Structure 1
């Protein structure tokens, strides 16, 4: 009897829909071929008035040809840190049908040396990416003047 009652309420659950919409033609998407290219694109997406004020964490979502499907802001935080939720990173990557991603965050202090927390989240995201077959190509720390690339430094 309880099972019958439960089945009668099937229409009272949320419907999940996976949709990726873009207004950018595939031929017009930026192509990422280096950390410098990723840095330059990231700077264009950052608010120059807040890059030295509080920390933000974003991801570049890429297709098989290393063309950018989109930029997703994972989190905004305080002066010295922000919370990075792996589920949000990979929910966005899966929804965009990305095959790879690049993590990017700013350091309001102007220092580009990665912290222990930066190294830890890099390891966690890479491990999760391996499970989901989504390659994590780099983690870039940016300021208005320069950047640090984990991949370029051999820390990847």
Structure 2
């Protein structure tokens, strides 16, 4: 009987290290990495992975959805965080409508991810909802 081999890898060729110190800096950083041609058309979710000093290890494109939603799988997020030995994560997704108010689904996934991160001693630093021009921070609004 053959069993599938599992490979786990993470590599970096990053020369310039980016340190994320507040939600405004996170917004400016992630916006520079977002495809602005579809930010108002299609909902996407990304995770920013950081080390203990909040230096960016990388960005993972978690999912692309439709106009009103996308899939956020906590198990996938945590598996990526563990693979690259991240100490913290920042969840970011856009609202194509331009409305920055978090939905009940946004609030629920934030709570679920925070609880799951706590079990693995990974810090959920923030969850940002972004548009082309602005953002909403769960941490800044005391919803973490």
- Please report the TM-score for the alignment, with normalisation by the length of structure 1: 0.90
Rg larger in structure: 1
Q: Using the alignment, how far apart are the partners of 1:54 and 1:155 within structure 2?
A: 25
- CA offset digits 1:105-143 (Å, max 9, x no partner): 000000101000000000010011001111101000000
- Size of the aligned set, in residue pairs, is 144
Secondary structure at 1:88 match in 2: helix
Aligned to 1:5: none
Matches within 5 A, 1:113-124: 113-124=101-112
- The unaligned stretches of length 5 or more in structure 1 are 1-8
**Alignment pair present for 1:20 and 2:10:** yes
Write out per-residue CA displacement over residues 11-49 of structure 1, whole angstroms, 9 at most, x where no aligned residue.
x21222221111113xx2210000011111110111010
Aligned residue for 1:3? none
Cα distance in 1 for residues equivalent to 2:75 and 2:32: 25
- Structure 2 matches for 1:1-156, cutoff 5 A? 9=1, 12-25=2-15, 28-156=16-144
**SS state at 2:76 partner:** helix
User: Where in structure 2 are there 5+ consecutive unaligned residues?
Assistant: none
Question: Runs ≥4 in structure 1, deviation > 2 angstroms?
Answer: none
SS in 2 for 1:45: coil
Per-residue CA deviation, residues 40-72 of structure 1 (Å, 9 max, x unaligned), is: 111011101000001001110000110000000
- The TM-score, its normalising length taken from structure 2, stands at 0.97
